[in-house]
Amino acid sequence: MKAPNSPEYFATRDLMRELKLNTVCEEAACPNIGECWKQKHATMMILGSTCTRACSFCNVATGKPDRLDPHEPEHVGEAVAKLGLHHIVVTSVDRDDLDDGGAAQFAATITAIRKAAPDTTIEVLTPDFLKKDGALEIVVAARPDVFNHNLETVPRLYASVRPGARYFHSLRLLDQVKQLDPAMFTKSGLMVGLGEDATEIAQVMDDLRAANVDFLTIGQYLQPTPKHHAIERFVEPAEFDSYKHQAFGKGFLMVSASPLTRSSYFAGDDFIRLRAARAEKLAAQA
């Protein structure tokens, strides 16, 4: 990827600073930031910039979390309107310190975006809301267009990659979204290159389809610093193509699999294809 240096990149960065907003693009050191911000596609990260978890793959700071900014939802809505986004991804840090895990802030942000940019479709990428009864219901009731929660890796690697999370809780969360609102699109993502094998990836795909997840992303893990989880291998493009073919065969409506795939990478274009795939499936069943 090229270093970010376009005028649009700097304009997007300046707007984030002006509105005091965080982006996962910056905090997670995403390799696609130059390409995405050139198109003014920024992924908003709400609930502050400090996470209460310490996942070994993630570059977001861990520590004592920030105070909630009551103006944050309004500022996100303003940013979406100014950037002219047709589709926005809103994610967050984990906030285990909050009674609702930050669910109400997600809902308020969705409401603010709808007010500022009524035609923009909204995708949320949420934490797992572990031990936060009622939190999921708050977010689903706000009716985002896509509910995304990443499993990140295979169950065997959770202890080293996502020590604060539980695989089957995350899987159940996605299943519960469909139970609450069967029409809502659900999405999840995996990283490869952490030490998993193809059989384990296939099993995760089956688990996600059992939870009626519509959209799967698979991308190469990149080690942010020497202190983070080591890269076991770089996966060849042909293997990503194989995963994509396999996932479509298992019934996913949309699959994005490539070395640089991330949850929000070309998410707007993928949402258009996702919606078209559902319409095609429904027409075939009629």
Q: Which has more confidence, 282 or 66?
A: 282
Task: For the chain, give every domain's residue range.
Answer: 7-285
- d(Cα 124, Cα 145) in Å, to the nearest integer? 8
Q: What is the DSSP letter of 63?
A: S
Q: What is the pTM of this model?
A: 0.91
- d(Cα 207, Cα 186) in Å, to the nearest integer? 13
Q: What ranges make up the beta strands (E) of the chain?
A: 22-23, 44-46, 50-51, 61-62, 87-92, 121-125, 146-148, 185-192, 215-220, 254-257
Q: Assess if CATH 3.30.470.20 describes domain 7-285.
A: no
Predicted pLDDT of residue 20:
75
pLDDT, tens digit, for every residue of 76-98? 999 999 888 899 999 999 999 99
> Model confidence at 39, in pLDDT bands (50, 70, 90)?
low
3-state secondary structure of 115: helix
pLDDT, tens digit, for every residue of 250-281? 999 999 999 999 887 778 889 999 999 999 99
